[in-house]
Amino acid sequence: MRVIAVTSGKGGVGKTNISANLGIALAQFGYRVVLFDADLGLANMDVVLGTSAEYSLHHALDGNLCLAEVIANGPGGVRFVSGGSGVSKLINISRKRLQNFLLELAQLEESTDVLVFDTGAGVDQRVLTFLRAANEVIVVVTPDPASITDAYATIKVLLRNQKDANVQVLMNQVESERQGEAIYRKLNDIASQFLEANLSYLGCVRHDMDIVPWIRLRQPFVLADPRLKASRDVVDIAKAIGNRAKLFGSEGGLVIRLETAFGIKREMPEEPRALAA
């Protein structure tokens, strides 16, 4: 299972719309996708998908339901977990319950190809937790200068926390492909100079006013009108993500990675001294 976290430096750049539509595009290519709303500030994945879930992460953390039971069916074949305020609960629950939850999350592996975390913006510890839990991080950047500098700040903190983080830049709301690439190149130059990091480029989604009415109607634009510029761009990015699958073949140790990300230290098994003696 690939675990992809979508984040940004600044809010309002299009993370949730990109996560939702990208998830749907991946589902249309045959991947089994689960979208996980991990944004504490503005948890609106359900609104963007135009569906409401009966249960949320709350119910799974209360111990009344298991994670599989709170997963709802969304449009276009995606499934989703409504997180919202349940996400902050993750910080406060007991170690045992958290461990159990992470185990359930890892067990999604059997039924899921791609798990997408739609996180909040910025460098909040809780956001970082999800970024560490992922094996790929998509940073959504727009041509707005504040979005670029904030994206750099986020990438810097992420790499300080996790040197080998796999950071992929997705340019959103660009005027042209060329503009998207130029901004990515600038960002990558600075990252390689000051952070000794290589960011990869996932591609761009053009600014497209024709998606706005669909967003208002709570209909994912890739489904509502696949011919729109933004829809075609999202599908291209889904293709690119699919093509990279081989690079990130499902590795073992997902539970351990999740536990490390969420700050659970494993007790090392005791050395079998008694046996050796």
Q: Which residues bind ligand ADP (CB under 6 A)?
A: 8, 11-17, 172-173, 205, 207-208, 211-212, 215, 230
Three-state SS for 145-211 is HHHHHHHHHHHHHHHHHCCCCCEEEEEEEECCHHHHHHHHHHHHHHHHHHCCCCCEEEEEEECCHHH
CB of 233 to ligand ADP, least distance (A): 8
212 binds, among ligand ADP, Mg ion, none (CB under 5 to 8 A by kind): ligand ADP
230 binds, among ligand ADP, Mg ion, none (CB under 5 to 8 A by kind): ligand ADP
3 binds, among Mg ion, ligand ADP, none (CB under 5 to 8 A by kind): none
Nearer to Mg ion, 35 or 237 (CB): 35
CB of 15 to Mg ion, least distance (A): 5
CB of 17 to ligand ADP, least distance (A): 3
Query: 45 and 19 in contact (C-beta within 8 Å)?
Result: yes
Distances (CA, A) of 237 to 63, 116, 161, 169: 37, 14, 27, 11
- Check binding of 16 to Mg ion (CB under 5 A): yes
DSSP labels, 210-264: GGHHHHHTT--HHHH-TTSHHHHHHHHHHHHHHHGGGGG---S-HHHHHHHHTTP
Question: DSSP letter at 118?
Answer: E
CB of 64 to ligand ADP, least distance (A): 29
Please work out, in degrees rounded to the nearest 5, the angle formed at the alpha carbon of residue 224 by the alpha carbons of 49 and 82.
Answer: 5
136: Cβ contacts below 8 Å, ≥ 6 apart: 2, 3, 4, 5, 166, 168, 248
Query: 9 and 149 in contact (C-beta within 8 Å)?
Result: yes
Nearer to ligand ADP, 102 or 202 (CB): 202
87 binds, among ligand ADP, Mg ion, none (CB under 5 to 8 A by kind): none
207 binds, among Mg ion, ligand ADP, none (CB under 5 to 8 A by kind): ligand ADP
- Check binding of 15 to Mg ion (CB under 5 A): yes
Phi-psi group of 50: left, alpha or beta (phi > 0 → left; psi -120 to 50 → alpha; rest → beta): left
Q: Of all residues in this chain, which one has the CB nearest to Mg ion in the complex? A: 16
CB of 229 to ligand ADP, least distance (A): 8
Nearer to ligand ADP, 57 or 205 (CB): 205
CB of 179 to ligand ADP, least distance (A): 13
**Binding-site ranges for Mg ion (CB under 5 A):** 15-16
